[in-house]
A and B are shown apart, each in its own frame.
Chain A
């Protein structure tokens, strides 16, 4: 019995594909352009083109298809809620009327469009985290935020915090899993009971977990200091990021796709 699900949605799955090997900055940039592009989608055709591009990228990253279904399942509730809000509260010609509820043609249209948009947003974001290790993402962000450090933004510290937090998620999951198992072995009821019962059942898990988190933080601080860590100034890296032609092309391609689809979508039947 797995008490906690170790594999989270969007968790890095290394396959060594060309997408995995791209520079994290290129991927972050491309994700940014795609997200803007998807936000601007006003048209089912354009949305399906985005979906096709996603499938092509998925194929190229050699990821198993179930990452898509799991990704969708994770936002299903949100999608259903937004879709029903649009479905019932839109203007337009009524298609169906049940008492106070009115479903209009525009409502159906919007519900579809917004669900597609939301799903695409999640899928594209998960593609970044599926193909890029947390460290690469943090490093990439640090480099991209570097210019801001001139105006006092602590870009290195922020990225270090991010790296450490990400680094410790799996460790703490393992730890929590171990503690849950130890308490279940002592007859704790974790998986049953009402809300309050569950909260109370978590005290024997949370106390040891916090205890170990503080201990780990302490140990990590000592370990970092004993290796003379003193912030980002003058710090070099073992793995230098290399920006290559491939990355420029990828970034350029994503920008052009986003712009092109954005402009085309504007001429679509439902430009508002």
Chain B
């Protein structure tokens, strides 16, 4: 069952001079086993949208259904179980570190769930493995002593240890180097393959086009475009959105096709680049 947003609206500081409409009748779904990319300029409502997915914010208007349970009128316990089901990784998640060891940090969430210590341990090891870290040398180290890329992965593991059905990430690539970014991509594709539903907010269109199956482009709190990569690219071809650019290699491929070159339609940037190179060599 999916997460469903129906005509959700949200206004910050309602009724004040600095009132700001962050979401304006937004409708979309997020299913298991898919990756939904959320793009848009700063202030377009992306982060507010994310916080609606796990009930940190409740819709002022409209409805949010997580596996059929409406957030509106959900009890405290229901909200807690929804937050376990929908893991949320904030931007710079390593800034939430507080524990003395990596083990304690990752064990925070399962302990909050009231699991027995054996299961907690099992989950910590499992989630560290899921993010590609070797628990052996990390468990007893301070999370603050790790490298930037390792910190990011421990932070993601600390949410994964709830074993969420959905994972929502806000700007997961920010501050990562190329290697860290590549590892993150690989990791997200692996999560998706295991049936997890992913929602990723990012300014990095290359990353979104590489990782996601569907895209939603937000603008001024509204859905500007929503659909599969093909659909979004097509919609933007006829009406370009301000402040949004296709990934370079995807744009190059589209341009070549527009000029009549026989290049196969590939939208993922890495594949698009390969296709363009192959076409270039074959000429």
A interface residues, Cβ below 8 angstroms from B:
1, 6-7, 13-15, 64, 178-179, 181-189, 192, 203-208, 211-212
- Distance, CA A207 to CA B108, complexed state (A): 14
Contacts of A64 in B (CB 8 A): 15-16
For B51, the chain A residues whose CB sits under 8 A away are 181
Closest 9 CB pairs of A and B: A187-B112, A207-B98, A186-B109, A185-B88, A182-B96, A204-B98, A182-B90, A187-B109, A181-B56
State the CA gap A207–B95 with chains docked (Å).
10
The reply to whether A1 and B57 form a contact with Cβ atoms under 8 Å apart is yes
Q: Flag if B16 contacts A185 (CB, 8 Å).
A: no
A186 to B159 alpha-carbon distance, docked (Å): 6
Please list 22 pairs of residues, one from A and one from B, whose beta carbons are closer than 8 Å in the complex, sorted by A's number. Answer: A1-B57, A7-B13, A14-B18, A179-B96, A181-B56, A182-B88, A182-B95, A183-B96, A183-B108, A184-B56, A185-B56, A185-B83, A185-B90, A186-B96, A187-B80, A187-B108, A188-B108, A204-B98, A205-B98, A206-B98, A208-B97, A211-B95
**In the complex the two chains form, what is the Cα distance from A204 to B18 in whole Å?**
31
Cβ < 8 Å to A, chain B residues 41-62: 51, 54-58
Quote the shortest CB–CB distance from A181 to chain B (angstroms): 5
Q: Do A187 and B84 touch across chains, with their CB atoms under 8 A apart? A: yes
B113 to A, closest residue via Cβ: A187
Whether B96 lies near A184 (C-beta < 8 A) is no
Which chain B residues border A184 with CB–CB below 8 Å? 56, 83
B113: A residues at CB distance < 8 A: 187
For A204, list chain B residues within 8 Å (CB).
96, 98-99, 108
Q: How far is the CB of B267 from chain A (nearest CB, A)?
A: 32
CB distance from A191 to the nearest CB of B (A): 8
CA distance A52 to B89 in the complex (A): 52
Could you say which residues of chain B place their CB within 8 Å of the CB of A185? 54, 56, 83, 87-88, 90, 159
State whether A208 touches B96 (Cβ < 8 A).
yes
Contact B112 A188 (CB under 8 A): yes
Q: Which of B68-100 contact A (CB under 8 A)?
A: 76, 80, 83-84, 87-88, 90, 93, 95-99
Closest CB-CB distance, A9 to chain B, in whole Å? Answer: 14
CA distance A181 to B15 in the complex (A): 24
Q: How far is the CA of A256 from the CA of B118 in the complex (A)?
A: 76
Chain B min CB distance to A202 (Å)? 10
8 Å CB interface, B7-43 against A: 13, 15-18
Asked whether A1 and B56 contact (CB < 8 A) given A186-B158, A187-B112, A208-B96, the answer is yes
Within 8 Å CB of A186, what residues of B?
96, 108-109, 112, 158-159, 162
Q: Does B17 lie within 8 Å of A13, measured CB to CB? A: yes
Nearest-neighbour CB distance to chain A for B152, whole angstroms, equals 14
Given contacts A7-B16, A181-B90, 14 further A-B contacts (CB under 8 A): A14-B18, A181-B51, A182-B95, A183-B96, A185-B56, A185-B87, A186-B112, A187-B162, A188-B108, A204-B98, A204-B99, A206-B98, A208-B96, A212-B95
State the CA gap A204–B99 with chains docked (Å).
8
Residues of A within 8 A of B55 (CB): 1
Please name all residues of chain B whose beta carbon is closer than 8 Å to the beta carbon of A182 when the two chains form the complex: 88, 90, 93, 95-96
How long is the Cα–Cα vector from A2 to B96 in the complex, in angstroms?
A: 19
- Per-residue A-contact encoding for B120-158, CB less than 8 Å = 1, 0 else: 000000000000000000000000000000000000001
Bound together, the chains give a CA A212 to CA B159 distance in angstroms of 21
How far is it, in angstroms, between the C-alpha of A182 and the C-alpha of B47 when the chains are bound?
13
Inter-chain contacts of B58 with A (CB < 8 A) = 1
Closest chain A CB from B39 CB (angstroms)? 21
Assembled-state Cα–Cα distance A1/B96 (Å): 20
Residues of B contacting A206 in the complex (Cβ-Cβ under 8 angstroms): 98
In the complex, residue of chain B having the shortest beta-carbon distance to the beta carbon of A183: B96
Residues in A with CB closer than 8 Å to B16 are 7, 13, 64
Residues of B close to A188: CB separation below 8 A: 108, 112
